[in-house]
Chain A
Amino acid sequence: MYRHTLLKIVAIATLSFLFVPLLLIMVTAFNSGDTISIFIDGFSLRWFFKVFKSRSLVNALKFSLKLGLLSAVLGVVIGIFASIALTRRPGKVSNALLNLFLSSSLIPGVVMGYVLFQCIVVTLQIPLAYALMIGHILIVLPYSIRLISAGLKNCDVSIEEAARTLGCRPVMAFLLVVLPDLKGAILSAFMMGFINSFNNIPVSMYLKGPGMNTLPYAMMSYIEYTFDPTVSALSVMIMLFTLFCMIAIDRIAGKRSR
Chain B
Amino acid sequence: MKFRREGSLLVLVVLLSLLAMLFDSSFVPDNALDILINGIPTMIIACGVMLVIVTGEIDISVGSLLGLLAAMLGLLSSTVSPGLSVHPYLAILIVLTVGTLIGLGTGCLVVFGKVPSIIATLGLLIALDGVQDWLMGGGDIKHFPQQLRNLGTGTRIPVNLIIAVLVVIGTGLLCRKMAMGRRIYAVGSNPSAARVAGISEAKIKLFVFALTGLLTALAAILWVAKLGNVSTSTGAGLELKVVTCVVVGGVAIRGGRGHLLGVVLAVILITMIRTVLNFMDLGSEAVKWQRAIEGVMILVAVTSDHFTQQQQTGGSA
Q: Answer yes or no: do A and B interact.
A: no
Which B residues are closer than 8 A to A by beta carbons? none
Interface residues of A (CB under 8 A from B): none
